Amino acid sequence: MILLSAAGPAAALGKNGSLEVHEFGLFYNQNQSGCVFDLYGEDLNFNNDYFKSGCTGGTSNVNDNTESYRNRDVYAWKVATDANIDGNVGEIPSGYSGNASTNFKNKISSATFTLHP
């Protein structure tokens, strides 16, 4: 006999322009303002990613075009200045938000979560 359980609440989808719990967000402007690029899973190349319309920075390419961040995930996230987590790499712990440093402001090109909470 196979038992099926009911599905739980819908998981965050990512890349929908809304930063939800369990997601990592990169913002077009400083102080977590303007459009947000929200990630639920890794994205190793932002070259084909665009901010959603209807906010400051809307429809702009995400690659090398973010100034702040917020991590609503339980895991830390790594960001990098080149595709495939290469170049300068930084880690943003769970629950942190802030403005990108000079080394990362408008230079982030990829992101992935780490396996340690």
Sign of CA dihedral 13, 14, 19, 23: positive
What is the tens place of the pLDDT at every residue in 6-41? 333 445 589 999 999 999 999 999 999 999 999 999
- Nearest Cα neighbor of 46 from 94, 106, 111 is 111
d(CA 29, CA 31): 7
Q: What is the C-alpha to C-alpha distance for residues 54 and 77, in angstroms, rounded to an integer?
A: 27
Q: What is the mean pLDDT of residues 46-72?
A: 97
Superfamily of structural domain 24-113: Crystallins (2.60.20.10)
Cut 0.75: pTM above it:
yes
- The 10s digit of each residue's pLDDT in 92-103 is 999 999 999 999
**Cα 62 to Cα 72: distance, rounded to the nearest angstrom:** 19
Q: Which residue has the higher pLDDT, 54 or 9?
A: 54
Residue 47 DSSP one-character state: G
pLDDT at residue 13, rounded to an integer? 80
**What ranges do the domains of the chain cover?**
24-113
Summarize pLDDT for 76-90 with one digit per residue, the tens. 999 999 999 999 999
